[in-house]
Structure 1
Amino acid sequence: MTDPYPQPQTAEVRMRMPLNYGTSSADLQSRWDYVIVFPNPPKQVIEVSDERDTIIKRLRAAGLRLRLFYSVGKELVFCKIRAPEELMRREAEFLKMHLQLDPAELRRASFNGIPEYGIAPFPIRDVKQTYRYSPFDYIFAPYFQARDLEHFYMKKGANDSLFASTDRIALIEHIITNHQTGAGCDIDRLVYEEIIVESYPLHEEDEKMALKESWIVWNTSPMNQPFDRICKYFGVKVSLYFLYLGHYTKWLLYPTLMGIVTGTLSYTIPRSDYQAVFAYISPFFGAFMTIWMTIYLENWKRLNSRETLRWGTAHFTETAQLRPQFYGERIPSPINGKSTRYFPPREKLKRVAYSWVVISFLILIVFVIVS
């Protein structure tokens, strides 16, 4: 049986034959999640082609499936990427990715226990219906590849996949960049060094159209947007942005109405009574805005806490990555011992001072010209 994903030819061989990476017919019908765009330099430029070959080999060695093709003008090479379910599960376990647990399975385990793990029944009931959600709703836990625990995880993706669109893209990006178990490609650095042109996730057409039909509706109020679907398709950051936008728009209605009342009064009263009337209205309006601002902010805090609980990001932390433009001396990190870049504070201060001198000089020139 021939390998449907043969190794790419070297740059020297490609100078004599067309681009052919052996994509099977099954892959043409599969879902592709990510794209890396390579430049397609002239045949004489061997170095860029070698870099491209190396990246492709590393992506394939990491277990990713690829499909490569030229752009219309053959100035670019597109590399579509997808990951098998088993590879994503392995990466999710490596990352200890938090996935939502199935409430029905949790309830069943609560009343029956898990004998194989020595866990006795622990029935939990909200007898008085005190809370909006049951004790088993929106529980997230790290993923483990254990066959007897598999049924506890909620299936959010297509074809009974555990991973939603954003989860798939996050896992594929980590496989591409991870040096331990993945391809170890620093995408930002590769873009900065112009080895690749761009990288981006692909839309899933069915999910996109379903989201569009439920979202872009003329009579939808700001707080009735499909935030859960937005979160599932675009991620928590985008969903929180539109949640805040909807909350802000909704709450602006109250000062708008108060402003209309105040403006109407200003047109109905005689000009001679302006000072006397607005001596009372202005403090009242200021007090109203102060109270409105406090309630608006506290309501947002409550809404934000509730939605981050539902979306599993209540205790989320984000690790900052070094920009490719940042350079300095390579030293072991005093925190975890890993290699990191160090830039001397004194050198930084010198450069900042030099920048301010130049900026001040340019501002002075503007003042001289204007005056």
Structure 2
Amino acid sequence: MPSRPLTPSPKPNAKTLLVHALRYPETAPAFTLPEWDLLIRQARHADLLGCLGALIKARGLLDQVALQPRQHLISALRVAGKIAQTARWEVQQVRTALAPLNAPVVILKGAAYTLMDLPIAPGRLFYDVDVMVPETSLAQAELLLKLHGWGSVKTSVYDQRYYRQWMHELPPMQHAARETMLDLHHNILPRTARFHPDAEQLLHSARAVGGDAQLRVLAPQDMVLHSATHLFHEGESRHALRDLFDLDGLLRHFGADAVFWSGLVQRAQQLELARPLYYALRYTQRIFATPIPPDVCASAHAGEPGRLTLALMDTLCARGFRTPHPSCNDWLTPAARFALYVRGHWLRMPLHRLIPHLVHQTFAPNSAD
């Protein structure tokens, strides 16, 4: 995995403190206690404190951090380590439950990063296990999971219809005894979305985990595209910076292999995901200085939106990718985040369905997201 730049940027201000620390973790021991106080609060809000601790620890600098902030970092790493341990065990329970399924079982997102021991996994927080199976196997997979203790946490008629008729996943499931959460997917975008990636291609290219022919993770290019698609179609402001940091780490890690870059743009076009890839490359470069070959950047322009749309996205993302902490906000930040939230829903659902759905959410806030 290519290392992060060693030459530090100018001293950060409050709005750039967390991004600076993530980009230049070697500068962390020099932070003052007031800077650490703010940095820890910012990192907690962004669910990135464990990741920051992992970056500092990987450079052998954890012992050089002042005692008080070091204790916070160590605690965050322990919490993340426990989550990763639980996720590994939970994946095996899912694997056991779905063993009769004559189909691949693909682990997605945080649990997949943990199974693969990717560099972005240490310190990362995630709260559920995401699994993808072929749509033709969805009903059987749901039944098998129910037989092993998982059940839907969305019980209203509206929520059940919302997920089963329109979405790319079933209603979230929770284990009756362990209370662990599971999302069962059949694609990476809703049925109603503007773009329609071919789930069969994703499943066909998925790679076996540890010699297990059934248990798989997405291929490297597809993993990046899924991460980009999730980020730019969810509109979830709290984890926007964390998800962009994931993309930076994935691109650095997989990008060490030239073969990864050679087919990335073409794969995005095959899956109708050229637009989210373009945004992913643009904003990881801007915020984390992610090293991307110039020819890949040039090819990715195939997914570039019109000039006005791009200018609007730049304006929104400049605030949407800020640390989700009051110290990083200005008076336009809430409006920018709300606009990105609405945009994400608009890409996922046509207006004639989106407007009634948003109205329903307004008056039934505990309903489907």
| TM-score normalised to structure 1 length | 0.26
Higher Cα Rg: structure 1 or 2? 1
Structure having the higher helix fraction is: 2
Higher relative contact order (CA 8 A, sep 6+): 2
- Per the normalisation by structure 2, the TM-score is 0.26
